[in-house]
Structures are given as structure tokens and as C-alpha cells.
């Protein structure tokens, strides 16, 4: 893409992002994040290097993936969230499965809740993984894998490990943290970013390195990705791709937000959070598959950014990749 065309496309993307931020972004994002972490006990957990408390908080975040927030929240209300002690005490039982010996040996556990199967079937009746109060087998594996990661890779000190990772880079960069944690079963880039952004921004008030690293992280989910497509931004920037790892790659969704962030005064709000709020049914409920017939371009009826939006059909976009 020629530089002049790309510059014009970036300016259009910035204009669209700015309009949505003005409509949907929380006006005191950082202050609200810090207040939430303080009330949730995370600020004190960070100060005390309380890994068990942080484990429980991270598992709550992981529990929300792959399903509507309302359903995940209802399950947590009824069954509770897994605690550090649930796994720790379970591993003290007699003759534990060899898969649970270390973080590295746990790879390939394969537990499936509905089928009651795993990679080591004779051990299943006495295994702690099925006993964990998780919605499905993948989340139960995530609970065990995260515990083993924090115990074996972080040495039981998650905060100390984060400090070590950040100290190794000349610039504030949380990428090494994401790179290491994305190998935890069930921990995608999106889930990790959703948890680490607030933790780094507000978990240790006054720590400029943590806050700068948190500001570099971008959360991309399907709502945000599809918004970038429907508005024509991905097409304009020659950045068309399916939702997934490419969202975080060169010229992907996160990269687009980083470029826009350099030119937008985003101190009042988080731009990717604003896009999610603009689209999500539980927030502004404007740009999503329930409101739009994705077999054709959006009608734009009632949309406050209709005049600026490219209104590109999402279904044609998926078909294009399936045929490739």
C-alpha cells in the first residue's frame, strides 16, 4: 500500500475510533480500574505478593471465555471459583497422576468433562482435575495448568516474576509476560490481556513501569475484530484476516489500535474497551450480529457513526477466506 493511501486510511480509522470513544468510552477508565482492583483486594494482594489470591482472580477471568458473561457469572455464583488450595491439597493426595508432576509434564492432559476421558484413563477416578468446580474440561485443565505455571515457572511468586520479566526490557513491554503465559492451557492472548491490562495499570499505584507496560496491551475479541471489518478499516489498511492469532500480528487489529493510540489523546479512556462497549449487548448494543444481518451491508439505521462507517458485509468476508 502506498504511503499516501495508508496515511489516509489511518486517519479515517482514527476518526472512527475517536467517534466511538466519545460515545462509549468510560470517562475515568484508569480511576475506575484502580478503584475496582482496590475493592477486589488485588492491590493488597500485589503488595503482599499473594499468589494464591491472584490465582483465584485470574481463574475468574479465564472462566468468562467462550460463553456469554451472564452464563459464566451464573455458573460462578452457583459453583464458586477454584482456589489455590483446591489444587494444592489435591496434589498432596496419594499416587497423583504423572501428568500433574510439573507444569511441563501436564501438557496433553486431555480431560473432557462430558465424556469423562483423559490421556491417562486409569488415573481419572482419583484425579483432582475433574473435582475442580469448572464449567467444562478445558477450564478444569486451565485451573490446574495455571496453578502449575505459578508454582513451577514463577516459583510461587507471580508478582516477583512479573517484575523480573519487565526489568529485562529497555522499554516497558508486557509482551514477554504474554508470550510465556499463552502456553498455559486455555489462556489465550485475549484472556491474558483482559486480566493483565487492569492488573498492570492499577495493581500497583505509582509504579510507572507497570502502568506503561499495561498501556501497551490491547484486548481484541470478536466484537472488536468484527467492528474493524464492518467499518471498512481492515479493508482500507489491507489488513483483512480471520479472528485469531493474526489479530495480534503485524498489521493486525492490535497493531491498528497501537498506531491510532499514538495520535489520539487516550488518557481519559481505553480505545479497545470503548469499541467493545459500543458493540456489546450488555453495554451500548449497537454493532453486533444480533442487530445486523451480516449477509449484507449494515443498514446503518440508528447508528451514530453511520456517516463515517464503510458498512462492509461480514458474511462475504468469511466466505472469502473459506474459499481461499
Extents of the domains making up the chain: 3-30+219-323, 50-156
Whether residue 323 is predicted with pLDDT greater than 60 in this model: the reply is no
Torsion of CA 7, 11, 16, 21, to 10 degrees: 120
Degrees to nearest 5, angle at CA 207 with 203 and 211? 70
Determine the pLDDT at residue 320: 60
Phi and psi at residue 208, in whole multiples of 5°?
A: -65, -35
175, three cell numbers: 509482551
Whether residue 301 is predicted with pLDDT greater than 90 in this model: the reply is no
Average pLDDT (3-32) is: 85
pTM: 0.83
Whether residue 318 is predicted with pLDDT greater than 60 in this model: the reply is no
Query: Which pLDDT tens digit goes with each residue over 229-241?
Result: 999 999 999 999 9
Q: In the predicted model, what is the mean pLDDT of the chain? A: 88
Residue among 13, 81, 77 at smallest CA distance from 228: 13
Q: Could you give the CA distance from residue 86 to residue 129 in angstroms, rounded to a whole number?
A: 10
Categorize the per-residue pLDDT at 140 as very low, low, confident or very high, splitting at 50, 70 and 90: very high
User: Which residue is it, cell 481419572?
Assistant: 124
Categorize the per-residue pLDDT at 86 as very low, low, confident or very high, splitting at 50, 70 and 90: very high
Categorize the per-residue pLDDT at 1 as very low, low, confident or very high, splitting at 50, 70 and 90: low
What CATH number is given for 3-30+219-323 in this structure?
A: 1.10.1670
Least-confidence region, from 48-57, 72-81, 150-159, 212-221: 72-81
How far apart, in Å, are the Cα atoms of 201 and each of 74, 195, 198? 28, 11, 5
Amino acid at each position: 500500500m502506498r504511503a499516501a493511501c495508508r496515511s489516509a486510511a489511518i486517519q479515517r480509522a482514527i476518526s472512527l475510533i475517536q467517534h466511538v470513544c466519545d460515545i462509549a468510552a468510560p470517562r475515568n477508565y484508569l480511576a475506575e480500574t484502580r478503584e475496582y482492583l482496590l475493592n477486589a483486594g488485588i492491590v493488597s494482594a500485589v503488595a503482599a505478593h499473594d499468589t494464591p489470591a491472584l490465582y483465584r482472580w485470574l481463574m475468574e477471568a479465564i472462566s468468562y471465555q467462550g460463553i456469554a458473561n451472564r452464563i459464566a457469572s451464573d455458573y460462578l455464583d452457583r459453583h464458586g471459583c477454584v482456589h489455590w488450595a483446591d489444587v494444592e491439597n489435591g496434589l498432596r493426595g496419594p499416587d497423583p497422576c504423572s501428568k500433574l508432576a510439573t507444569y511441563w509434564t501436564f501438557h496433553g492432559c486431555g480431560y473432557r468433562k462430558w465424556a469423562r476421558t483423559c490421556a491417562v484413563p486409569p488415573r481419572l477416578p482419583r484425579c483432582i482435575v475433574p473435582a475442580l468446580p469448572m464449567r467444562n474440561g478445558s477450564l478444569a485443565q486451565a485451573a490446574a495448568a495455571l496453578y502449575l505455571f505459578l508454582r513451577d515457572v514463577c516459583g510461587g511468586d507471580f508478582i516477583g516474576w512479573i517484575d523480573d520479566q519487565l526489568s529485562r526490557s529497555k522499554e516497558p513491554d508486557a509482551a514477554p509476560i504474554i508470550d510465556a503465559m499463552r502456553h498455559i492451557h486455555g489462556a489465550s492472548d485475549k484472556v491474558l490481556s483482559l486480566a493483565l491490562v487492569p492488573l498492570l495499570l492499577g495493581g500497583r499505584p505509582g509504579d510507572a513501569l507497570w502502568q506503561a507496560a499495561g498501556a501497551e496491551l490491547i484486548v481484541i475479541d470478536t466484537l472488536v475484530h468484527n467492528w474493524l471489518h464492518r467499518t471498512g478499516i481492515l479493508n482500507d489498511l489491507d489488513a483483512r484476516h480471520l479472528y485469531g492469532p493474526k489479530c495480534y500480528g503485524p498489521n493486525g487489529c492490535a497493531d491498528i489500535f497501537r498506531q491510532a493510540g499514538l495520535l489520539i489523546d487516550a488518557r481519559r479512556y481505553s480505545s479497545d474497551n470503548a469499541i467493545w462497549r459500543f458493540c456489546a449487548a450488555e453495554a451500548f448494543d449497537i454493532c453486533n450480529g444480533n442487530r445486523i444481518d451480516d449477509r449484507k451491508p449494515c443498514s446503518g439505521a440508528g447508528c451514530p457513526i453511520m456517516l463515517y462507517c464503510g458498512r462492509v458485509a461480514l458474511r462475504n468476508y468469511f466466505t472469502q477466506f473459506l474459499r481461499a
